[in-house]
Structure 1
Amino acid sequence: MLELSKNRSMANSELEIARVLWGLGKATVRQVVEALPDHRKRDFTTVQTYLARLEEKGYVKSEITGRVKTFTSRVRPASVIRDVTNDFVERLFGGDSFPLLQHLIRQGDVSAEKIRQLRAMLDELEQPSEPTTDD
């Protein structure tokens, strides 16, 4: 089982670095720095610090081959999204996600296509699951 730090929440800057690493798969600090968007500051030492923090928290692991240290993610993006979203909903809405859904739908720029997809998802959730048979 993956062991994460008790202080496992990610700061926005750490999340940005993690997203770059997810895109790269495996990377050195320099490769992460170079992959950052142009509008972001590309400071080697800062990126190195963020990667070290992510490693401390259990999100990232490193491997040294010769003189080269590479980093890879230890968690899938979906699990981070789940954790961050759950934390956000708990802090802002007391754990009730429905007010967040209402806000996103009412305040967001939701296209007709997105509404169709949402309707299909809701219809799917309302359908009773079919019992499976063992043949």
Structure 2
Amino acid sequence: MLGERFAGSFAMTNPTDKEIEILKVLWELGEGSVRAVLDRMAPDGSIHFNTVQTQLRIMDRKGLVQHRRDGRTMIYRPVYTRKQEVARFLRQVFDGSVNDLVLNMLTAEKIQPETLDQLEALIQQARKKQRRT
């Protein structure tokens, strides 16, 4: 693996829902072949190999993934981390306002009590961290 290079452009574009599904798999795997992605997405065989292969090629051209060759197999990896993609979404949709994102989420969705408890705990942690600085 030493000296391997990944090819692909670096233009950040908006991924489609299907592309997000594939990115989630690649974020979990780190990198993977079409077969590895397919096996994670549809272990029941409900998606065809060629469908995933075509989607990954499109994503490569869009700059969402990069690829390298391993023999005859193409290995893909995401260009951006999940954290970078979330930050991009936040900037694009909510002008970078975490406050707007959270308020939108709280008013638009029915949220489970456990999730609200987790949010409260995160808020308390953030407050403690701010007090220390």
TM range (shorter): 0.7 to 0.9
Identity level (%): 20
Normalised to the residue count of structure 1, the TM-score between the two structures is 0.71
Unaligned residue ranges in structure 2 (runs of 5+): 1-7
> Aligned equivalents of 1:58 and 1:79: distance in 2?
14
Question: Residues 94-135 of structure 1, C-alpha deviation per residue, up to 9 Å, x if partnerless?
Answer: x65434322433542243632431331442365262xxxxxx
> Aligned equivalents of 1:115 and 1:67: distance in 2?
47
> Aligned equivalents of 1:40 and 1:10: distance in 2?
24
Q: How many residues align?
A: 123
* Corresponding residue number in structure 1 for 2:10: 4
1:77 aligned onto 2:78 = no
> Aligned equivalents of 1:17 and 1:80: distance in 2?
13
Normalised to the residue count of structure 2, the TM-score between the two structures is 0.72
* Corresponding residue number in structure 2 for 1:20: 25
Secondary structure in structure 2 of the residue aligned to 1:127: helix
Unaligned residue ranges in structure 1 (runs of 5+): 130-135
Opposite residue 121 of structure 2, the aligned amino acid is: Q
Relative contact order (alpha carbons < 8 A, sep ≥ 6): 1 or 2 greater? 2
* Corresponding residue number in structure 2 for 1:34: 39
1:109 to 100, 107, 112: 112
Which has the greater radius of gyration? 1
CA RMSD for the aligned pairs? 2.8
> Aligned equivalents of 1:65 and 1:29: distance in 2?
12
Aligned residues of 2:56 and 2:65 also touching (Cα < 8 A): yes
Give the direction of change, closer, same or farther, for the CA distance of 1:29–1:67 in structure 2 (3 Å limit).
Answer: same
Give the direction of change, closer, same or farther, for the CA distance of 1:80–1:40 in structure 2 (3 Å limit).
Answer: farther
